[in-house]
Structure formats: C-alpha cells, structure tokens
Amino acid sequence: MASKHTVTSSVAALTGKQAKVEHARLAAEIGKHDRLYYQENAPIISDAEYDALRRRYEAIEARLPRLRTRESLTQRVGAAPSARFAKVRHAVPMLSLDNAFANGDVSDFVGRIRRFLRLGEDDEIVFAAEPKIDGLSMSLRYEDGELVTGATRGDGTEGEDVTANVKTLEDVPQHLKRRAVPKVCEVRGEVYMTKHAFLALNRRQADIGGQVFANPRNSAAGSLRQKDPAITASRPLGFFAYAWGEMTEMPADTQSGMAEWFASCGFKTNPLTKICRSIEELLAFHREIEAQRATLDYDIDGVVYKVDRIDWQERLGFVSRSPRWAIAHKFPAEKALTIVDDIIIQVGRTGALTPVAKLRPVTVGGVLVQNATLHNFDEIARLDVRIGDTVRIQRAGDVIPQVLEVVQEKRPPPTKPYPVPRHCPCPLRTDVEREKTITGEEGAVLRCTGGLACPYQEIEHLKHFVSRRAFDIDGLGEKQIEFFHEQGWINEPADIFTLEVRNGNLTLKGSNEKARLEDMEGYGETSVRSLFNAIAARREIALERFIYALGIRHVGETTAVALARGHGSWSAFYKACLKLAKDDEEARREMDALDQIGDTVIESLHNYFAEAHNLRRIERLAAQVTVRNAEKPRADSAIAGKTVVFTGTLERMAREEAKAAAERLGAKVAGSVSAKTDYIVAGPGAGSKLGRARELGVTILSEEEWAKLIR
C-alpha cells in the first residue's frame, strides 16, 4: 500500500494537463467502485486499493485546488441511493470519516484539534475510542419515541428507505424505553452480521445455489436491502448505536454520555468503547483492539477516535465530507492477528502433504479468512507454529493467506511443537517420504507414497479432472465429486461417462437398495438431465485439455499446450510417452527438443506412464471420449511468437476466450509480467501487473487496441 509521501511525490511529477486527466480518470474509477460497494454490495477491489485511489485523488486536488468543484468526490459521501428503494432526505447529513493509516497520522489529527481550539500542550483532550464496525451505516428516526423511518447513508444527503426491513432487527427497538425522550430523535449506527452467522448463511446459500458473499459486511448490506422484508427477517443482523442525527434536545453533553443514553433506551452499544486522554493511550487502544480482533464475533477494520465533549465537536465542525473531531485509525488491510485453533494436513493430487492452519475467522483484505497455508513442515519448524498460538497472517491480492510470524508473548501454556508425520492422514495410513530433486537432493515437501490408491489423492485427481481448465463439466463441481466419490459411484474419470448408464442401479453407502440420482436430496429430473447433458457435451475434448486433465505432476496448462502442439494428436503423444516410460533415449531426446519441456516434466511423464495402474485408467477413459487433434498455431499473425499478459476485466470477451485466441495466433500467454513480456492487455480494474508493465516499458494495450492488433 502506497504511503502518503509516495502518493504526493508521484502527483508532484505530473504536469497541469496530466493532473487534470488523471483527476478525471480517478473520479470515474472511484465512482464505479462506490456504486459497486454501496449499491450492489459487490466490491471488486480491497479497501486498501480503494483508499490508495482516494488518497491520490485528494493529493491532486491539494496541488490543484481549482479541480475541487461542487461535483468533486471530496465533497460527496458514498454513492447515490439505489432506485430500488424510495429516497429519504437526511435532516442532518450522514458524513464519513477521514482515515489514519499510521501513528503519525493520529498525532497530526490531535495536533490539528489543538491548533483549531487554541489549546496548549498541557490542556487535556478527552477522546471516546471505539472499534470501527465494518457494516452498513443506518439512521433510525424516532418521533415521540416511535420508530418511523430507517434509512441507509446513501450519498450522505439522501439514503434509501428500508424501514420495513429495519423493523425486523431484534437490536432495533420499535419504541424507546425511556419515559422522557426527545420529540425527534435520530439514532445512528451500524448494521452488521456476526462471523458465525455469516459462515452459516454462506453454507445455506451455497446449498441452494444462491449468492455467496465475500465478507460479513457485504452479507449484511445484501440482507438489509431486500425488497422482501421476510428475507431480511430470516437473516441474523445486529445493530450497534454510536451516533445521532437530528435531536430536538440533547440527553447528554459528551460522546460517552450519549452512548450510555442509547443503552438506556434499549440499544446495543459497543462494550469495548474506552475513554483515552493522550495520543499514547489512543495508540495503545488501537494495539489492544487489533490484538482482540480475532476473538470478536463481528468484523472491524480499525478504531474510531472522537472528541468526547460535544460542545468541542460543535466548535470543530466539519471540513468537506468529514468531521474535524473524529478520525478512523485503520488496521493494515492485508495483515491481521488471529489464533490457530488447529493444524490439519491436506493431501494434494500429487501426494504432497500441506499443513494448513485452521484460524479463528478474521477479515483480511476484504475477505473473511479461516485457513492459512503453512507450506511445508520445514516452515512449521522455522516459525515454530503451535496449536493455540496467536499469529500474524497476510493476504495480498489473490495469494492464499499465509502465516508471517508467531506472537510468542501470547503463547498459552502448555504447548508442544507440531510433529512431522510419518504416515499419510488417509485411512490407508500410507508411508510418507521426503521429496527428492532430480539431482538427488532432499526437498522440503513430504509426499504420500500411495499414489492413486490413496483416497485423498484419488478425489483430488477427480476434482482436477472436472475443473474449469480441464473437462469443465457444468454441474459437476467439487461438492458433487465428493458426494459421488463417497458413495462409490465415481472412483476414476471413466466412471463419469458411465454414470448415466448406471443410474437406477446406484446404491447408497451402507445400503443394498438400488437408487436413481433423481431421488437424491437436492436433485430432480431437470437437474439430473442437465448434468447428463453436460457430461455428454464433454465426450469430445481438445488434446491440450485432455493432457492437462490427467493431472500429471508438473504438467500445467502451458506445458499441456506445448505437449499437444509438439505431438499433434493423442495417439502420437501416448506412443511417445510409452516409449519414454521404457527408457527409450530417442523418445527422451525428442521430448526434450520441444519448447518449454525440460527434465522435470520428462521425468514426471516417465513416472506416470510407467505405472500400469495409470495406463489402465487412461485406456478406460479413452474408450469413453474423443480427443481432438491440436490446433496448429499461426505463424503469420501480428502476435506470433510474442508473450502476452491479460489483466483487469475484459468486456468484449471472457478471459479464457481471449487467451485461447492469442494462443491460436501463435502467442504465448503468461500469468505475470516480466522483461520478456511483449504486450499487456489491460481492462478496467487492472492492478499491480499494470504498474509492473509501466516500470519495464512493456507495450500496454486497451482491449480495443488489442482487438485491432489481432484483427
């Protein structure tokens, strides 16, 4: 994440014309992300990436104030209300908070307050500090103690009328408990969903094929903004009160006093709220809450500091879209502290044993994380990770979360180092051995020696076989494969293509009665017919997909394409591999001569095709499908021999279609940018790859320019 200094420095290098163009571009991009976040509950970038866009936009306006007009994003909050709901105009605007990302930002915040109020260094400023709930802002309007309106923040001036939905929340009183309440009273706070409720909801949504949410915030927003209040009522939503809007009279003269009054009226307030009297106490509170973050059942993304005296809040007032008297001190967006509840071992399709930390759920980079890879057992020993440890985890982009370090001072006694396993965790308890490289050196990976006799490897092979880049059978995903394998209906790829013939003679595990798939829970005549049609549609497949689907170690998509193009047909490839398995030196030399094929791949092919069990499976599969010959790439196109990287969202065609088109025209499609990259095709939402391409001087093309080039 870029620092303020970095952002400001890069803006300083822009000419006036460049700054104006960049300002307009950022406005359009930020506006798009605001709509996705506030109206559609479907953000496509992390909070850190969004904050970086905002900081750059604001830095440009700071340098060129003439760009700060009434239409500027710095003068607006959120996004316009959705047309799905009636609009509610807020009597008092619902503004957002400025963010602090470093301790120095907090010191600057306190310093600005001192200067504005003309306070001396010895004059005490009392702050109410509270966790920053990551939910949906809500304003509840009471008249004569009765709830009359519930409205979202919207653009800060107008929100969406969700009164009927809000009334279904247990945490929202329909009538204020106190006898004497202001005639008009607007209570503001955050609608949220607990982590355990979020996980349960996602499981139910996945079971019925509904929308699965990335994090509790999106889930809460999506649940509250339903046209049918009954759906909202079925979702476990909570509400924390912490602010106010229009009040005909004030029940207290401090922020903390107002929180106590909310609680006396029947609202839930955050029990972790604390009074702080110095910068040191504010920063200590931030550290304390970050350490507790994993143990909380609701999502937070920082803490909020508010001047406690309301008369000082009124004097400080607001600047553009934010109050001068409050600030949100955010947690590092891609890192978090959590607790290791368990360590389990996953067995991959190639037999590699991967230890995985089962974590207390915590949101990192906009996603609720429950697992983190520990890579291998050498890494466990290096970090000395133990069950019960508090650990710092990191998630960057699409990378699987990983454990960075153990917080040793929080280790609970007694704990023991995690032992290196001697057997596979599968029911066969097969021996494991440490991987050896081609040169005979020991590697870091432990591998099960059971091969496809190991049920864990077998099922992972099947999942790989039906995956999107392999056979891509619609309606036959990981969940279905697990169920069919557990019942003994699909044990190898060929079984997929005989499932329809065997339907009606299937037996459920533990029963001898014959059954049909249509009679199973979650299935019906229509869904089963769709599944069988999808399987039938994959009886013919491209050679490179077929090779990739076999799940041969070290043979990924790119290698499969190279092998397919190098041999042309399944028959030629199969014969070459059989010769290779018999240690035919000529076959080895011919394989080695192919582009992108080296010793590691050749050794994997040798081992795979030397195994009689594998050959029998292949023969049974080949009897069920037709493998198309490889397409010959063109050598006369504008991109023949070039290396291309796609990034961002493509709007004219799907990413997979674009890659296939590039490869047909003789280009190599890469997943990352390097000095060997010739072109990068960047759509909306392009991230770090685009920056790397600029650094290396790679030719950057829009999707339109790319289309013209390949045309």
As annotated, the active-site residues are 132
Torsion angle defined by CA atoms of residues 211, 154, 27 and 61, in that order, rounded to the nearest 10 degrees: -140
Sequence-ordered strand ranges (E) for 75-211: 87-89, 99-100, 127-133, 136-143, 146-152, 158-160, 184-193
Token pair 């028959």: residue: 571
**Cβ 135 vs Cβ 38: under 8 Å:** no
Residues 6+ apart with CB under 8 A from 398: none
**Cβ 175 vs Cβ 265: under 8 Å:** no
Residue 709: in which H helix or E strand, if any? helix 703-710
Is residue 416 helix, strand or coil? coil
Query: What secondary structure letter does DSSP report for 79?
Result: -
| Rounded to 5°, angle at Cα 301 from 297 and 302 | 110
CA atoms within 13 A on the CB side of 650: 19
Helices (H), 293-352: 310-316
Report how far residue 333's alpha carbon sits from residue 344's, in angstroms, rounded to the nearest whole number: 27
| Rounded to 5°, angle at Cα 609 from 604 and 610 | 95
Distances in Å between the alpha carbon of 356 and those of 106, 325, 634? Answer: 37, 44, 44
Nearest residue to 684 via CA among 19, 35, 1? 35
Q: What sign does the CA torsion over 482, 484, 488, 489 have?
A: negative
Nearest residue to 350 via CA among 425, 272, 235, 447? 447
Residue 404 φ/ψ, nearest 5 degrees: -90, -40
Report how far residue 220's alpha carbon sits from residue 236's, in angstroms, rounded to the nearest whole number: 9
Strand partners, 354: 346
Residues 6+ apart with CB under 8 A from 51: 1, 99, 101, 330, 333
Nearest residue to 133 via CA among 238, 249, 206, 51? 238
**Cβ 137 vs Cβ 328: under 8 Å:** no
**Cβ 362 vs Cβ 336: under 8 Å:** yes
Report how far residue 18's alpha carbon sits from residue 568's, in angstroms, rounded to the nearest whole number: 51
Sequence-ordered strand ranges (E) for 535-598: 540-542
Is residue 551 helix, strand or coil? coil
Report how far residue 22's alpha carbon sits from residue 3's, in angstroms, rounded to the nearest whole number: 19
Report how far residue 445's alpha carbon sits from residue 380's, in angstroms, rounded to the nearest whole number: 12
Sequence-ordered strand ranges (E) for 158-281: 158-160, 184-193, 237-247, 274-276
DSSP-derived pairing of the beta strands 390-394 and 335-347: antiparallel
DSSP-derived pairing of the beta strands 668-670 and 643-647: parallel
Nearest residue to 218 via CA among 303, 99, 299, 334? 299
**Cβ 515 vs Cβ 487: under 8 Å:** no
**Cβ 614 vs Cβ 577: under 8 Å:** no
Distances in Å between the alpha carbon of 2 and those of 5, 75, 114? Answer: 8, 23, 28
**Cβ 423 vs Cβ 320: under 8 Å:** no
**Cβ 648 vs Cβ 688: under 8 Å:** no
